Structure 1
Amino acid sequence: MIYLNDCATHIQKNFRAFLGRRYYRILVKNSVLIMKLNHYNAMATKIQKVWRGFYVRKYVFNYHSRKRYLDALQIKNEIVRSELEEYAEQQEQIRIRKEEEEIKKKKEYLARKNHHLISTEVIPGIYNSPFLPYPTEAEYLLQNVKPLLHAKKKKDKTPYDPTCRSYQLPRPQQLPPLSSKPQGPFREPGDVQKQRYKPFQPTLRVATSFTSLEQARQMMKAEEWVTRINDDIFVPFSKKDFNYEPLLHTTSKYGHLYYGNRFFREEFLDRHITPKKQKGTKNK
């Protein structure tokens, strides 16, 4: 039994020694490989560093090209700055011009509104004081503007026709039903609706023509022209060769009328007058 234990111990010792040496060789081999790789990595890093430095100095951070770029950028910045200053100046001028126009419009509106304050030849205005050597600016402004007029309403050129449907109120089709008749002396809803929506009844003044008097005069003149007896116009007495034409009331084709010639009572002015003898006179 002792011999078997020693043999087993010896076998285990040798096997464990083999595993230890094998593991050590693997560690050495890996360490050597790692050292080689580190060396290669260092060499590659150095090569990359040198190349990148050359590339950056050559193309990225080139002093001369950077200087030329900065000089061009400075010139461009000056150009842009000058353009911006000109644009800002133009905008400021436009703003000032607009403000001046608004102030001018307000002054003109106030001058047109207060145009009654302008001075006349008889009475000087409040802006034209006789104690000043010359009128104020407001006085010149009042003289150069027109008075403010009220806006006139546009008149409808179409004549007013009360019977036109467009002037009448829209009539509803049917009124809503009432629950019950209200108390008091109220009229029926139908009568109220009829009274409200009845057509216009123009007065005599509206229905009569505005020129009715002139038309009546024209009709009277026409009737007089038709019904008058003597159509001859009046001829002055300067024409001696013109025979006088008697009127129809005094003559006819059968002779003179009796009117005014025979049947009037004759007058004898000296019928009841007798000659009397005066005292102190002799009969002849």
Structure 2
Amino acid sequence: MAELLKMKSEVEEFKKEYLCRNNQAEENRQRETEAATRIQSWFRACRVRAYLSHLHMKAITVQKIWRGFTARARFRQMVKAAYFIMKMKFYEEMAVRIQRRWRGFFVRKYIHNFYVRKRYLQGLSRKNELVRRDLDELEELQKRERDCVEMIKEQTAKVYQAHRLHHLLSTKQCPGVFNSPFRPAPHEMELLLRQVKYQAPTRLAPKGRACLLGMPGPTDPSFPESLASPWIKTTNTCCSIKPILPPIASKKPQIR
């Protein structure tokens, strides 16, 4: 009986222990389930992150390869364009050089021939020498003519002055102004006064520049001779004009 009671008590204790352990197992199972869920979520997250990181690395690799390819293609295009431009510049430079040589040859041979230009310049220089010689001769001739005209004008002025100063001619009774006894020979004006003849003036000479210089004016009747031929007398005298100066009638003109 005691053993049966003992067995019953043991069975009761076993049941209680079983229930207690079962309750603990249930409680542990829930915590384990939550822990397993957490571990699975972490693992799956790590796996997804690793996969995304792998995809990101692959995308970076693809982008790097593509960008490198496009950059190399663009660089090759730039090199080709630069080489083409350099080649065209070289061709243009060579074309310009060829054109320059050809145009220079053409101009020198057919347009501006050096030897023809040289012959032309030589002929021009000879012609210039001839023209210069002719011009020198013409200038010498004109100078002689001017000197002759000046000499004629000077001689005319002297003759006119001699006519105006004829009263200063020296005589036997009274020596003239231009025949000083202190001179070894008579003055040039004295010799000229001896050559010309006295003429009575018809009117007062005009007051002009020609009279101030000692030369007769174009309308001066006191000296009827012309400038071109001062020693040729003319009969065209102004007798119709009333004389202004008193006529010299009381005394006879002095005679040598």
TM-score (norm 1): 0.44
| Structure with the larger RCO, 1 or 2 (CA within 8 Å, 6+ apart) | 2
Higher normalized helix content (fraction of residues): 2
Over alpha carbons, which structure has the higher Rg? Answer: 2
When normalised by structure 2's length, the TM-score is 0.49
